[in-house]
A and B are shown apart, each in its own frame.
Chain A
Amino acid sequence: GAGVSQSPSNKVTEKGKDVELRCDPISGHTALYWYRQRLGQGLEFLIYFQGNSAPDKSGLPSDRFSAERTGESVSTLTIQRTQQEDSAVYLCASSLSGGEPDTQYFGPGTRLTVL
């Protein structure tokens, strides 16, 4: 079946502009996660959605970052007034969220470059 998809694959923007990143999870997966990966580093958790529950936004680095999810489908991550330190790969993952191991499956990521 289809995996997690993300768009765009690459985004170059100017400092101060807003950007929107999109994630389509695996069909039937109720949990959705966003992570950020800076160059040469591991992944940092940003936000988690589970069904209709309130999202866990504890990993969002600033109030310039926000995310939405429509039901159990598409999610968008929005970064307002982008800064150069926002340059990174943004990875989305989804999982079934039912019992162990609840493996997270990742999309190909969006590479964001802020000039």
Chain B
Amino acid sequence: AQKITQTQPGMFVQEKEAVTLDCTYDTSDPSYGLFWYKQPSSGEMIFLIYQGSYDQQNATEGRYSLNFQKARKSANLVISASQLGDSAMYFCAMRENDYKLSFGAGTTVTVRA
């Protein structure tokens, strides 16, 4: 069974606007962590933001925020005030009881000037 589902293969967003990237997950573990990574065309994976399953507040890091809805098992990434440099592939990932990360298929974001 797919542990991480990203249903949006690609998205376009206008510069300076906000964009929401969807991520749903599947786990029966009470303790887990959710991560978002950015992968530009250069190929490196850049860590953006983390949300723990017991965290009461939604995580925020600069222009990135995570809309965590535990009952719905969703962890959507919101990028505010999009910049041209935000154009990249974005991956949602989950770590359960162990250390491995399970990744979604990714969403390609293209920011238009």
Write the residues of chain A forming the contact surface with B, with a CB cutoff of 8 angstroms.
31, 33, 35, 40-45, 48, 50, 56, 59, 89, 91, 93, 95, 97, 100-109, 111
Using known A-B contacts A31-B99, A59-B100, determine if residue A101 contacts B44 with beta carbons closer than 8 Å. no
Write the residues of chain B forming the contact surface with A, with a CB cutoff of 8 angstroms.
4, 33, 35, 37, 42-47, 50, 52, 91, 93, 95, 98-106
For the complex formed, measure the closest distance between the CB of B18 and the CB atoms of chain A, giving whole angstroms.
24
For the complex formed, measure the closest distance between the CB of A113 and the CB atoms of chain B, giving whole angstroms.
14
For the complex formed, measure the closest distance between the CB of B29 and the CB atoms of chain A, giving whole angstroms.
14
A48 pairs with B43, CB closer than 8 A: no
B103 pairs with A43, CB closer than 8 A: yes
A45 pairs with B100, CB closer than 8 A: yes
Chain A's interface: helix, strand, loop or mixed, by majority? Answer: strand
For the complex formed, measure the closest distance between the CB of B4 and the CB atoms of chain A, giving whole angstroms.
8
B47 pairs with A43, CB closer than 8 A: no
For the complex formed, measure the closest distance between the CB of A102 and the CB atoms of chain B, giving whole angstroms.
7
B50 pairs with A103, CB closer than 8 A: yes
Q: Using A103-B50, A106-B45 as known contacts, list a sample of 12 further A-B pairs with CB atoms less than 8 Å apart, ordered by residue number in A.
A: A41-B105, A41-B106, A42-B4, A43-B103, A45-B100, A59-B100, A95-B99, A101-B52, A102-B95, A104-B101, A109-B44, A111-B43
A89 pairs with B103, CB closer than 8 A: no
A97 pairs with B99, CB closer than 8 A: yes
Using known A-B contacts A42-B105, A48-B100, determine if residue A103 contacts B91 with beta carbons closer than 8 Å. no
